[in-house]
């Protein structure tokens, strides 16, 4: 058994990785984080054990890049100085949802993204996040609760 | 949750495809692409061209399975295979000129990494047959160091991974018969008439 050509690996997982990144870093930064993710993968690729679960592997790298991006953004972006940029409209025009998902604490955000954006089972969410299935369920539950509250208060504001 | 459905409706297929296309130039700058490939339009159909840093390592006719071609490159050269068109700009232009009757010699280098031993020597000898002339299986076997191995020379040419540029179409039977061709005899005839031999 040998590794597939990187091009085939990229083609097979690009949609899931992109979807995950849109949910975690937002549509504006998804392209850059996507390329960072696959560049890191390409660097390590020839030394990879051909038996590796490639989907879990690339989603783990994407998760790390999303966290790095979050740290960088907090350090480097003085929010008070930057004008509030409008998010590119999602097809049904719910930019508030993007923001609400990204404002969740990291574990909840990752659990929500893996579960609802990538349609992973809780067992797979746990594997990707390196936690127990119960912890994954709890994070997603907490995340859902917060999202519901956040969206409700946004509607009241509007 | 109904709201989360919104995340699913973004056109991620198109957006991720665009982001993936932007990966190649960045990977090239970092020296991470061991095998770059691109599709090239030609009068003989859509060819798949692949190059290492040393030169053209593969040119595949449309009848060859694309996935298998890339898998072979991943297995025998490196799994760092990526669609990176810029590296192949030179050979694409040269092929255009060749098919347009404007070019008789390819300057773009050839990487013989997919062949070994006698096979590689036969292919290297074949690469030196000039435009507009032909040779025989016996002659290329002799130039590869074994004049009696003309059958083996035929097999070597049949396994040529860089047709057209390594011109195995210029090798014929001693009796004047066309012999065989990986891309099919129609393509061999087409190339020989393009070069004014037939």
Q: Look at chain B and report how many structural domains it folds into.
A: 2
Minimum mean pLDDT among A118-127, B49-58, B152-161: which range?
Answer: A118-127
* pLDDT above 90 for B160: yes
Fold of the domain spanning A1-85: Rna Polymerase Sigma Factor; Chain: A (1.10.1740)
Name the residue among B20, B73, B25 with its Cα closest to residue B48.
B73
Give the closest-approach CA distance of B71 to chain A in angstroms: 6
Q: Are residues B174 and B121 in the same domain?
A: yes
**What is chain A's mean pLDDT, rounded?**
81
Partners of A144 on chain B (C-beta within 8 Å) are: 1
Compute the distance between CA of residue B98 and CA of residue B87 in angstroms, rounded to an integer.
Answer: 19
Taking the C-alpha atoms of B90, B44, B25 and A47 in order, what is their torsion angle to the nearest 10 degrees?
-110
Sole residue written with tokens 């399975």: B65
- pLDDT single digits (tens) B105-138: 999 999 999 999 999 999 999 999 999 999 999 9
Contact B79 A90 (CB under 8 A): no
Contact B7 A34 (CB under 8 A): no
Query: Measured between CB atoms, does B29 come within 8 Å of chain A?
Result: no
* CATH architecture of residue range(s) A90-158: Orthogonal Bundle (1.10)
Answer whether residue B110 is part of any domain. no
Partners of A148 on chain B (C-beta within 8 Å) are: 1
Best of A1, A3, A7 to substitute, by most chain B Cβ atoms within 10 angstroms, is: A7
Residue A32 in tokens: 């850059």
Which one is catalytic: B168, B171, B172, B191? B168
Answer whether residue B106 is part of any domain. no
Q: Are residues B14 and B84 in the same domain?
A: yes
* Mean pLDDT to the nearest integer, B17-26: 96
Compute the distance between CA of residue A6 and CA of residue B23 in angstroms, rounded to an integer.
Answer: 12
Compute the distance between CA of residue B98 and CA of residue B195 in angstroms, rounded to an integer.
Answer: 9
- Return phi, psi of residue A40, to 5°: -60, -40
* pLDDT above 60 for A137: yes
| Residue A93: per-residue pLDDT | 45
A66-80, B14-28, B169-183, range with greatest mean pLDDT: B14-28
Strands B35-42 and B81-83: parallel
Compute the distance between CA of residue A1 and CA of residue A51 in angstroms, rounded to an integer.
Answer: 8
Compute the distance between CA of residue B16 and CA of residue B13 in angstroms, rounded to an integer.
Answer: 5
**What is chain B's mean pLDDT, rounded?**
94
Domain that residue B36 falls in: 5-99
Report yes or no: A88 and A27 within 8 Å, Cβ to Cβ.
yes
- pLDDT single digits (tens) B166-184: 999 999 998 878 988 988 9
Contact A4 B30 (CB under 8 A): no
Answer whether residue B173 is part of any domain. yes
* Mean pLDDT to the nearest integer, B156-173: 96
Identify the three-state secondary structure at position B46.
strand
B22: CATH: 3.30.160.70
Contact B17 A148 (CB under 8 A): no
- pLDDT single digits (tens) B130-143: 999 999 999 999 99
More confident residue, A113 or A41: A41
Answer whether residue B105 is part of any domain. no
Q: How confident is the model at residue A89 (pLDDT cuts 50, 70, 90)?
A: very low
Identify the three-state secondary structure at position B172.
strand
Report yes or no: B61 and B187 within 8 Å, Cβ to Cβ.
yes
* pLDDT above 70 for B66: yes
Contact B80 A27 (CB under 8 A): no
């Amino acid at each position: 058994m040998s590794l597939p050509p990187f091009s085939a690996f990229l083609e097979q997982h690009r949609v899931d990785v992109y979807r995950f990144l849109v949910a975690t870093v937002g549509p504006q930064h998804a392209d850059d984080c996507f390329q960072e993710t696959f560049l890191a993968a390409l660097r390590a690729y020839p030394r990879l054990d051909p038996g590796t679960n490639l989907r879990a592997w690339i989603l783990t790298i994407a998760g790390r890049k999303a966290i790095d991006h979050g740290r960088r953004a907090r350090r480097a972006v003085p929010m008070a100085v930057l004008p509030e940029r409008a998010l590119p409209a999602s097809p049904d025009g719910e930019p508030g949802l993007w923001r609400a998902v990204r404002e969740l604490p990291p574990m909840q955000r990752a659990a929500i993204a893996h579960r609802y954006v990538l349609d992973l089972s809780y067992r797979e969410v746990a594997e990707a996040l390196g936690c127990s299935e119960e912890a994954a369920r709890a994070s997603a539950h907490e995340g859902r609760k917060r999202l519901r509250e956040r969206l409700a208060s946004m509607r009241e504001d509007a | 949750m109904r709201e989360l459905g919104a995340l699913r409706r973004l056109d991620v297929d198109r957006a991720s495809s665009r982001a993936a296309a932007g990966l190649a130039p960045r990977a090239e700058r970092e020296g991470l692409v061991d095998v770059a490939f691109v599709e090239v339009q030609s009068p003989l159909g859509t060819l798949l061209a692949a190059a290492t840093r040393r030169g053209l390592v593969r040119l595949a006719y449309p009848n060859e399975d694309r996935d298998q071609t890339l898998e072979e490159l991943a297995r025998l050269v490196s799994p760092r295979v990526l669609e990176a068109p810029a590296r192949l700009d030179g050979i694409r232009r040269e092929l255009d000129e060749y098919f347009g009757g404007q070019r008789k010699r390819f300057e773009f280098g050839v990487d013989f990494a997919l062949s070994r031993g006698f096979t590689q020597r036969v292919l290297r000898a074949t690469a030196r047959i000039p435009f507009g002339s032909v040779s025989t299986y016996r002659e290329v076997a002799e130039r590869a160091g074994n004049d009696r191995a003309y059958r083996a020379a035929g097999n070597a040419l049949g396994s040529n991974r860089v047709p057209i540029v390594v011109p195995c179409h210029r090798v014929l039977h001693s009796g004047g018969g066309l012999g065989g061709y990986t891309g099919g005899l129609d393509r061999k005839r087409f190339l020989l008439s393009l070069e004014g031999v037939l």
